[in-house]
Structure 1
């Protein structure tokens, strides 16, 4: 059964509570914005389970199972392993074993991967006790952060201009995502789902338009009003417009928009081994904050 928007809001609420008290324990794919982005673009597909205590959500797991994905270039990608996104409230650490057990019964007989937070010593110990080992050294991601004081004014090359999703057509917004991440399974239907996701704001979905009308790069910002923090996810640039400073200018422009909307803090994730992405965010004032610890259990 697909994840409902009501359950998604509960999961986002848990993310907000953990962000407020234990921000280094917010797993990959378990942040306020990442939850919304993944739900929107996939339609909430996959298996999931929620755990409650006293009527309050305290843990959840969402498993992506083996499947075939069709991409915009006509190719297909067969995903043969399972992946788990999950979150457990720090006061209910005993539920980590229940999440691990549920994952094993939900995805039996296949390779299973998971991305707990590197600072979550208890969870790392429990996953190891169940036979999970470190995954490939390039599989980890890094979360970067910065405060929104004194954000540099961005500058674009002549002929380029800033836009928001509220100002351009949905077709242009979708094409910007497709161009940046081709080959991809992202479609107009995916974007409709993203627009329905709790927290999506078209005025915080920023783009850079090239002189020929192409959307050269784009980024969605997810504003967590409870914690006054904004998260960039995703950020992408058209291959024909890279290395021109456009993404840096867009990120700075987005930071200024987010500050005007009430944010005081910002985050953005990147693959840990991706030097260009990391240097982009460092050049916009971000610094490393936390990382995940990819684990896998082979067949």
Structure 2
């Protein structure tokens, strides 16, 4: 299987553009322009050896794709080891080619072999829910519970964006103002288990549509970086997306996340975006991120419905 490289990535992002323009509610949260760029770039060095992918074309255009990750074991940034024993599938079909999901699932069965299989479908995608059920998948009641790990997808039109307010002494920066090492440190301070390295960040910076002027940060009075967010702008659909967003644990509950979001939305609007997307944990038991996004005007348009298919060895 050939490596999932930048050429394939751009094709997959192109399909994301089409789904965004046609049926945003059918866009899988892991299959957006920005999410694809971020995950591919940051994880390429660690996981590209295990990734499997396949593309489906119709009339010379990409109509569907599947990106599977079989079980793997890699070190985390905090010194622990991430040991994943199940396969996971990210996928997308064109709204007019929904039936191709069946072919993606058949391919995924071959790739996963005897291990358990995970994937998600969107709550608005009734046809996808029907197709996965006919292929032996069931709703993952644990992952999809009120205290589960499921994600919801949110959007906001970029009208009437209030001015951000920072605590005294704090200031906004962009990645143009800091070193690569400091940008990586800001991310890892916000996400302690992250394995983002300077080499991986260099790949992020080379991956379309990353822009350093839309990679926003907040500096504390002592000069340390307190919060960070990357904004991915797709000029064709005039859609921008936050991924990732994080605040250093020592600076949380000071309104920095809210200020960073408002500042980022103003920058995205000035760059030509008319709407913003962001994904976040949706479970009622963990409402902090969701409530922050609600507080700056985001509203949900769909949520993940985690699906599981038990492997033969698990029965």
Bigger shift: residues 40-49 or 91-100: 40-49
Partner of 2:9: 8
Partner of 2:114: 109
Q: Find the aligned partners of 1:98 and 1:122 in 2 and give their Cα distance.
A: 14
Q: Residue 301 of structure 2 is aligned with which of 285, 289, 292?
A: 289
Q: Residue 74 of structure 2 is aligned with which of 55, 63, 69?
A: 69
Partner of 2:34: 33
Matched residue count:
299
Q: Find the aligned partners of 1:272 and 1:204 in 2 and give their Cα distance.
A: 26
Q: Residue 90 of structure 1 is aligned with which of 85, 95, 101?
A: 95
User: Residues 19-63 of structure 1: CA distance to partner in whole angstroms, max 9, x if unpaired?
Assistant: 111111001211111111111111272110000012100000001
Q: Find the aligned partners of 1:277 and 1:72 in 2 and give their Cα distance.
A: 22
Partner of 1:207: 217
Q: Which runs of 4+ in 1 moved over 4 A?
A: none
Q: Find the aligned partners of 2:118 and 2:137 in 1 and give their Cα distance.
A: 8
Q: Find the aligned partners of 1:121 and 1:127 in 2 and give their Cα distance.
A: 10
Q: Helix, strand or coil for the counterpart of 2:57? A: strand
Give ranges in structure 1 of 5+ residues lacking alignment. none
User: Residues 270-289 of structure 1: CA distance to partner in whole angstroms, max 9, x if unpaired?
Assistant: 01113000110011111112
User: Residues 166-198 of structure 1: CA distance to partner in whole angstroms, max 9, x if unpaired?
Assistant: 111111100011111112221112211211111
Cα shift at 1:121: 1.1
Computed over aligned residues only, the root mean square deviation of the Cα atoms, in angstroms, reads 1.1
User: Residues 119-143 of structure 1: CA distance to partner in whole angstroms, max 9, x if unpaired?
Assistant: 1111111111111111122132111
TM normalised by structure 2 equals: 0.93
TM normalised by structure 1 equals: 0.97
Q: Residue 290 of structure 2 is aligned with which of 264, 278, 291?
A: 278
- Contact 1:270-1:277 at 8 Å conserved across structures: yes
- Contact 1:28-1:115 at 8 Å conserved across structures: no
- Contact 1:81-1:111 at 8 Å conserved across structures: yes
Partner of 1:155: 165
Q: Helix, strand or coil for the counterpart of 1:183? A: coil
